[in-house]
Structure 1
């Protein structure tokens, strides 16, 4: 009988979060064995999967970069290729690239209380494998890598052009001189329009509802001015400047939504082509940060509109036609290519089946603890970034917490701990954004609580205290010898 391999910590996913997690473990617990299981054939996660034109970060790179490994240069909103290079470079520097096992798709995991171990089921190139670990860490993000949100468009089968999904962008797509319609108004759409318009014949962004858009400089002025100084001094300064600005702007928008809308209008309206109706195309029926703001570097989206090579139409789809899309208003948009930038499909923990002593743990029956552990799941952590700030700010904090958690187990001689839900704690949705991709999935997600440590504050300054500094043994975790 083949002996089952055991590792101390098993990380699921070799993207930004998984590589960061492994680096922090290697630094904080160099004696522990670690493996990273990656379902795909390459590292980088989102930044390797998405290949559509113009893909970039919509968070500044001084907070999107790791806290412990400075982002180089002064670029504030970087392209996907630059981010991928950064992630892979960090993996090589910390030698965690050697820990990645490719084409290892985790299908299920069962916690055994008697041995204090997870037994993890894996599909490797079609062959089943089993591993065990003492701590299981999901760094697989929160969306489905294999399937995006694909609405059923009436008449789509009659369309004689190409219908494209950004998540699966064809490498050989030729859109030079073509009429392109991009359906959607989120971050992907406002990235595609300026990226495609110089080459395409014309690009139209077709939106059902406008989105709040925030122009932002493509480079960081502080980083540029401080460039002659050592990075170890300048990076924390620029990073904290951006953190404080981010937290302050979010809090301002939530407390004074009308003033925030007025400020966004002041920044955006002067950049529109003459005659463009701001209220029709750029004033959403919801407040800023009810859904995530779309950030555009150096106003590139508005430059594309002013060039005449791109436009915005606010309407709903009646049906596709052989030559394009007929709208509810009766207007017809001719199209050679239609890009459906209609959002993601959420898939928590990579869709793996989790059981404890053989009993299935339904996600929607559980509650998240500090936004990084789940009630009822011992020695299990997950990394999901902020919805109102850079993903990596939260990812770094989760890594710090896991390192401290393992330190505590070592120091106290315990083998495991599990968050125990208090029946008196009220339930709230896992995420409080009104974005469609979140609302579509809420029923299958764990809940958050109405008080600490079960409530997600979505506030980095609060989490620095509660995650980085508060005692591990807080009376909520139940430890076992």
Structure 2
């Protein structure tokens, strides 16, 4: 797929043409671009990014203390060793991604401040035509490509989930969502209430606590927290022995993957034992007199929702020091100076932070069409959760719900590069996943089964036009790295469900 001449001539007409168009310059898009340079070096590609720079989540979120909730040995790429604490701050992650861009000459391929509004496939030309709004002026620009690689993430970067509570308009202070954090927000010596108890709340509270008068985590129900040291003794020992960083990265990565898989297995096989272990760590930090049953004992089994990591137990230390507290109750209404709870208790607040989660954004809210027909992804079935029936020449990256997102980025990239190479070798211009006659009576299932994983942002998304799954391996989105690590590399690019022309 060598389209260099085409790019040069088309740019003059304000239409840029390439072989592969990557949507998003976050952790997925940068990973996809790297693999193209290594595995398909003659393939031309462009990355479209709506923000002013790379980073995705780590660029969007700027609240105090922002950090990963996955370890960087597995959230980092397999090809780029991570050197540092496993739970990393946003600036460290951005620096890591920046090194990948610089070391592999990816910067010139990225078009920043290009917000994609529409993507239309034409079987006449066997190309995608993608329309963007560029810059503040919103100038319309167009790109065409043989293959579309969706790496835009899974939530609305512009706006988080903000519930509507009674009396919010009466509150005299700011009500802030972490996704839209004001740079000039002054919380020094203020009473702050953080609504929510997930990973974001667990990050914000210890970061803000030293400067607030007091900070309170207000939750309807508790979350499971995993408090642990922010260090990997094995990595430290290997470095002391002067082992190569590439080897350390792979060894530690495999050790973490093994341990995480065993932990996940136990949450299904012996949930009460795992629950007791997690809560024992909480009690060790907070003392036996603290009401752990009310404030830190969830109603669901471990890992039915994502565990919130608290490195070095920092949230618990802030509570133990009296800088922070937890209230488990529901909101009745806001007043001018705080929040009235359904129990009748009143929480005084100068600032309210609504750490209430994200809004899932299906395929970036882009208007898709195939040969003039609007595309409804709920009418499609996913081929291994990365390509879709009736949708030509497109791949989608959605990571894991219990493991690090980036693990699937690498696996999908390997498959896409094999697919592109096969099409190039055989002279194919189009590939469409297609249900076969033997799939006609296959049971169609949701993209994620709520019984398996049911955080609020997933439950809120069930009405969205998400792709479907089948009950055969090739039509499943496993959401499980330990299945995919063997299954995805074994996919034959000549698979009977992939129709080429």
Q: Which residue of 2 aligns with 1:141?
A: 153
Contact 1:364 1:443 in 2 (8 A): no
User: Which residue number in structure 1 is paired with residue 110 of structure 2?
Assistant: 100
Does the 8 Å CA contact 2:399/2:479 hold for their aligned counterparts?
no
Contact 2:14 2:141 in 1 (8 A): no
Residue 462 of structure 2 corresponds to residue 442 of structure 1: yes
What residue in structure 1 maps to residue 486 of structure 2? 465
Q: SS of the counterpart of 2:474?
A: coil
d(CA) in 1 for partners of 2:494 and 2:484?
A: 16
CA distance in 1, matches of 2:72, 2:247: 17
What is the correspondence of 1:195-234 to structure 2 with a 5 Å cutoff?
A: 195-227=207-239, 228-234=242-248
Query: Contact 1:109/1:121 (CA < 8 Å) preserved in 2?
Result: yes
After TM superposition, give the deviation of residue 412 of structure 1 in Å: 2.2
Separation (CA, whole Å) in 2 of partners of 1:230 and 1:67:
15
- SS in structure 2 of the partner of residue 22 of structure 1: helix
Give the alignment's TM-score, normalised by structure 1. 0.97
- CA distance in structure 2 between the aligned counterparts of 1:3 and 1:78, rounded to whole angstroms: 40
Task: Give me the CA root mean square deviation.
Answer: 1.4
| Structure 2: distance between partners of 1:423 and 1:248 | 37
Greater Cα shift, 254-263 or 315-324? 254-263
Distance in 1 between the 2:65 and 2:22 partners? 30
Equivalent residues in 2 for 1:273-284 (5 A)?
273-284=287-298
Q: TM-score, normalised by structure 2?
A: 0.93
- 2:26 is the counterpart of 1:15: yes
Range with bigger deviation, 161-170 or 274-283: 274-283
Name the SS of the counterpart of 1:181 in structure 2.
strand
Q: Deviations over 1:278-324 (max 9, x none)?
A: 11111111111111111110111111110100010000000011111
Matches within 5 A, 1:218-257: 218-227=230-239, 228-257=242-271
| 1:3 positional shift | 6.8
Q: CA deviation at 1:413?
A: 2.1
Distance across 1 between alignment mates of 2:51 and 2:28: 15
Q: 1:134 to 1:183 in 2, by over 3 A?
A: same
Q: Is the 8 A contact 2:17 2:145 kept in 1?
A: yes
- 1:411 alignment partner, one of 418, 425, 433: 425
Partner residue of 2:44? 33
In the alignment, does 2:173 pair up with 1:161?
yes
Equivalent pair of 1:405/1:472 in contact (CA under 8 Å): yes
User: Is the Cα–Cα contact under 8 Å of residues 14 and 142 in structure 2 kept in the other structure?
Assistant: no
1:427 equivalent to 2:437? Answer: no
8 Å contact from structure 2 (residues 329, 341) kept in 1: yes
Q: Residue 215 of structure 1 contacts residue 297 of structure 1 at CA under 8 Å; is this kept in 2?
A: yes
Q: How does 1:107-126 map to 2 (within 5 A)?
A: 107-125=117-135, 126=138
1:131 aligns with 2:143: yes
Gaps of 5+ in 2: 1-11
Structure 2 counterpart SS, 1:428: coil
CA–CA distance in 2 between the matches of 1:459 and 1:86?
A: 26
Is the aligned partner of 1:386 residue 2:400?
A: yes
Deviates more, 1:177-186 or 1:268-277: 268-277
1:247: Cα distance to partner? 1.5
Aligned with 2:286 (options 254, 267, 272): 272
| 1:450 CA drift (Å) | 2.3
Superposed displacement of residue 233, structure 1: 1.7
Alignment-derived partner of residue 390 in structure 2:
376
Instruction: Answer with 450-459 or 154-163: which moved more.
Output: 450-459
SS in 2 for 1:199: coil
CA contact (8 A) 1:247 1:459 kept: no
Q: Check conservation: 2:50, 2:112, Cα contact below 8 A.
A: yes
1:348 corresponds in structure 2 to 362
Instruction: Determine helix, strand or coil for the equivalent of 1:443.
Output: coil
**Displacement after TM superposition at 1:273 (Å):** 4.4
